[in-house]
Structure 1
Amino acid sequence: MPQFTGFPLTGLDFYEDLEADNSKAFWTAHKQVWETSVRDPMQALMSELEPDFGPAKMFRPYRDVRFSKDKTPYKNHQGAVVHTSPGAGFYVQIGAAGLFIAVGLYGPTPAQLAQLRTAIDNEVRGVELENLLAGLTAAGYTLGGDRLVTRPKGYPADHPRIELLRHKSLTLSKDFGAPAWLEKPRAAVEIRKAWEELRPAAEWIAAVTG
Structure 2
Amino acid sequence: MKIAVIGATGMIGSRAVAEAARRGHTVDAYSRSGRLPEGATEAFSLDTADTQKTVDVIADHDFTILTVVNGRTGDFATDIENHRALIAARPRGRFLVVGGAGALQADEHTMLKDTEGFPAEYKIEADSFAQIYLDYVDSEGLEWSMLAPAPVIAPGERTGQYTVALDVPAGDSVSAEDFAVALIDEAEMNEHTGKRFTVAN
Give the TM-score, by structure 1 length.
Answer: 0.30
Which one has the bigger strand percentage? 2
Q: Which has the higher helix share?
A: 1
Q: Which has the higher contact order (CA 8 A, sep 6+)?
A: 1
